[in-house]
Amino acid sequence: MAKPTLLPVCLLLLAPRSAADVVTWAPAQDTVGAADVRTNGTLVTARNPRSGTSAAPTVNGVTFAAFAPTGWTNGGTPMLNTSDTGDAGYNTLLNTARATSEATLTNPIGWGGIRLDTLGTLTVGSYYEIQVWFTEQRPGNGSNFLNDRQMTFSSAVGAATLTGGIVTNLGALTQGPISEALDGDPNNTFGAGDTVFGRYCVGSFQRTSADPL
């Protein structure tokens, strides 16, 4: 699990086979409009994670529940930075979803482990799909320019050690494949005329155990 800055999560049932209990990721895609939110399969859960109070927007018929995961402690500037997707719900989702910024602790350098509590009741033997987004269109200032900030996602199998909601023993777990890097602002543009609002990635897995996700 990479340390995300933006992580709305939509988990759906999926038919194709994939690696058991570790997520296999498809190529990243540009975030361009509300139709990005996938509706194939049966919805298990959709979350809009943020420290403290969040929003519960509906996008493409899917309502993302407000979600404050254990240990997440920060908020942040609206991530779209005045860009407009053309859909109020999608704007809210991309602007408000925000993860924590934690140290890597005892994890391998460059990795922060975040467990998303329980995402829902998953059936052993069934196949699932997970969709995640990364948007970061804030321009920064001085030497702190944020254009081209990137995010990767992964999963891990094993007994996780948690400290304030943060997995601290990733080095001892079996890590799954790492996603393609998602650019938070692929066209380095925000505001009027912007047409690409970050990137998203879809992964799939088969549920083979009752371990927490």
Lowest-confidence pick of 23-37, 40-54, 137-151, 177-191: 137-151
For residues 110 and 92, the model is more confident at 92
CB within 8 Å of 43: residues ≥ 6 apart: 10, 11, 12, 13, 62
CA proximity to 138, closest of 98, 79, 197: 79
Q: Is 139's pLDDT higher than 80?
A: no
Confidence label for 18 from pLDDT (cuts 50, 70 and 90): very low
Confidence label for 12 from pLDDT (cuts 50, 70 and 90): very low
Q: Are 76 and 98 in contact (CB under 8 A)?
A: yes
25 beta partners? 203
Mean pLDDT across the stretch 141-169?
73
Q: Find how far residue 49's CA is from the centre of its chain.
A: 9
Confidence label for 109 from pLDDT (cuts 50, 70 and 90): low
CA proximity to 87, closest of 114, 110, 57, 63: 57
Q: Is 7's pLDDT higher than 50?
A: no
**pLDDT at residue 110 in the model:** 60
56: tokens are 């519960």
Domain residue extents for the chain: 9-206
**pLDDT at residue 173 in the model:** 80
Mean pLDDT across the stretch 114-142?
77
Q: Is 10's pLDDT higher than 60?
A: no
Q: What is the mean pLDDT of the chain?
A: 78
**pLDDT at residue 72 in the model:** 67
State the DSSP H helix or E strand holding residue 145, giving kind and residue range, or none if neither: strand 144-145
